[in-house]
Amino acid sequence: MNKEGLKVDELIGHVGPLLTAAQRKKGILIHALQEAQEEHNYLPEDVLESLAAALDIPTGEVYSIASFYKQFYFQPRGRHVVCVCVGTPCHVRGSGEVLERMEEAFEVSRGGTTPDLSLTLETVGCVGCCGLAPVVTVDGRVVGDVTPQTVQKIVDLVEAT
């Protein structure tokens, strides 16, 4: 209630039910997108279109909402995700060369996924472990003090799992 004792419904009038319906759909949409990505490992176009139809939301809006969140992917991703930190502390300590070695070893460019979908190689601005620079994450696990020489250990670890 506000100072005049009016309830929220009275203040926003007929807009209230409209907002509630829209918010409910968008709340369901985020959860549905998360579930769909869990199932497919990314969000295929036909899944986005199907969700849009099921929720009666324009496909463009579904894509717009999904693309707002960094957690959603629109291209197939690998079973493993290796992420090389290229933030300034990591860069200064040689992450550029680490990245080059990773690209050579996995035969994929940054941002890319191997054709067999075994691996996606990404870069990130900082993972919050600058004291361990240069840092790589392997499926979310932090590996610090990475050198070009230790890249092969990471490659072996990923290929063994």
Question: Given the rule CB under 6 A, which residues bind ligand FES?
Answer: 85, 87, 89-90, 126-127, 129-130, 133, 135
Ramachandran area for residue 140 (φ above 0: left; ψ -120 to 50: alpha; else beta): left
Q: Which is nearer to ligand FES, 41 or 150 (CB)?
A: 150
Q: Which is nearer to ligand FES, 28 or 129 (CB)?
A: 129
Q: Which is nearer to ligand FES, 57 or 90 (CB)?
A: 90
Encoded amino acid at 149, one letter: Q
Q: Which is nearer to ligand FES, 44 or 89 (CB)?
A: 89
Shortest-Cβ-distance residue relative to ligand FES: 87
Q: Where does 5-118 show beta strands of DSSP type E?
A: 80-85
In angstroms, give the least distance from the CB of 149 to ligand FES.
19
Name the token pair of 6.
Answer: 């009016």
In angstroms, give the least distance from the CB of 39 to ligand FES.
31
Q: Where does 23-160 show beta strands of DSSP type E?
A: 80-85, 119-124, 136-138, 141-143
**Across the beta sheet with 119-124, what order do the strands follow?**
119-124, 80-85, 136-138, 141-143
In angstroms, give the least distance from the CB of 144 to ligand FES.
8
